[in-house]
Amino acid sequence: MLEARTLHEIVEQPEAWAAAIRSFDAAAPEVARLFREGSPDEVIFTGCGSSYYLSMTAAAALQRVAGLRSRAVPASEILQFPRGVFVPGSRPLLVASSRSGMTTETLRALEIARRRGSATLSLTCAPRSPLARGADFCIISPKGHEESVVMTKSFSSLLLLALLLAANHTQSMALRRDLRRLPALGKRIVKVALSLTGDLGADSARFVFLGGGPSHGIAWEAMLKMTEMAQRPAVAYHPLEFRHGPIAMVGPSMVVVFFGTRAGARLEADLATDLRRHGATVVSLRDEWRGAEELDVDVALGVRLEDEARCLLYLPFAQALAYHRAIGAGLDPDRPRHLTSVVRL
């Protein structure tokens, strides 16, 4: 168990990020051509499970930094309710993500988009997969492939490709610079994440992950990692939405993790203070801005990144927390029960 492959794949992420950046840079001219010739009026990001959650962050990033209407839709919704997704007369670009490139719903969503004449772009770790071959163009994460069932470095490297796509579509250089800093920053962040999460939440019954804007998809991915690896009850919310009902379940047996944003810093700090007063163990991940006082764990990364880039550095904390809680419970994080690395219908 101490040699769980998942742990190695969490640690290997910065290397996978560097490779993803090189892959995107090589593909950038074709990506620009796809946008230029297709002239999309909307970008629809899709995938299943983790790939859908990275789509949430990617859509939020692209719409904010480029002003291009963007949204995330589960591939199953495109498969089952295509008229609820595609607007007649629109010119969407479908960006489909899948680690294996073989997920049934994602492949069928791609087929539906192509039949209606929409441009398609795929993101995958498998260059010879049906998803890679079926899209108008594909960008590969060369070092994102994993041996374990759960997605860690595949998730983060595919998300980085999607964020680079957003950065490439704006005139602002800030996000482009920030994204290229991530591999070097990630080496330190992974070490910090593993050291902080060893005993965190060991006796807790429930976990809550909160994130707004580009961090919202990260919250959902953190929820999934805790559910998959550690089989602990976990939920994800927009931070302020947690006040509207869910706060009723807060108590001493709960761990609440904030994936902080600069835009939401003040209101999120107020919420964190209230949750700790109600007995929860509160963890805050943020940048250099002032956070709430007297939290159980307050991690100021001090990286001074845009929200969209910083959210990638939150992932090792979520992954390491789930990994340690799985190990602590005597579970195998590499092979969670009932799960396979590819879902086929």
Instruction: Dump the DSSP string for 251-318.
Output: STTEEEEEE--STTHHHHHHHHHHHHHTT-EEEEEE-SS---SS-SEEEE------HHHHHHHHHHHH
The predicted pLDDT at position 172 comes to 75
Q: How many CB atoms lie within 10 A of CB 300?
A: 14
Residue 190 near residue 315, CB atoms below 8 Å: no
pLDDT band at residue 111, thresholds of 50, 70 and 90?
Answer: very high
Residue 178 domain flag: no
Token pair listed for 24: 């995107």
Do both 149 and 194 map to the same domain?
Answer: no
Across the range 224-246, mean pLDDT stands at 97
Q: Is the pLDDT of residue 1 over 50?
A: no
Do both 141 and 221 map to the same domain?
Answer: no
Residue 155 domain flag: yes
Do both 298 and 260 map to the same domain?
Answer: yes
Do both 240 and 291 map to the same domain?
Answer: yes
DSSP-assigned beta bridge partners for residue 140: 124
State pLDDT tens for residues 60-93: 999 999 999 999 999 999 999 999 999 999 999 9
Q: Is the pLDDT of residue 223 over 90?
A: yes
CATH of the domain at 195: 3.40.50.10490
pLDDT band at residue 169, thresholds of 50, 70 and 90?
Answer: confident
Number of independent structural domains in the chain? 2
pTM (2 decimals)?
0.96
Q: Is the pLDDT of residue 314 over 80?
A: yes
Q: Is the pLDDT of residue 343 over 90?
A: no
Q: Is the pLDDT of residue 2 over 70?
A: no
Residue 152 near residue 6, CB atoms below 8 Å: yes
pLDDT band at residue 3, thresholds of 50, 70 and 90?
Answer: low
Q: Is the pLDDT of residue 163 over 90?
A: yes
State pLDDT tens for residues 179-219: 999 999 999 999 999 999 999 999 999 999 999 999 999 99
CA separation for the pair 153, 168 (Å, rounded):
22
Do both 144 and 208 map to the same domain?
Answer: no
Residue 272 domain flag: yes
Beta strand pairing call for 281-286 and 254-259 = parallel
Laid out side by side, the sheet with 92-98 consists of: 70-74, 42-47, 92-98, 119-124, 137-140
Across the range 298-311, mean pLDDT stands at 95
Domain boundaries, position 210: 189-328
The predicted pLDDT at position 340 comes to 78
Choice among 51-55, 125-129, 334-338 with the minimum mean pLDDT: 334-338
Of the residues 118, 140, 172, the one at which a domain ends: 172
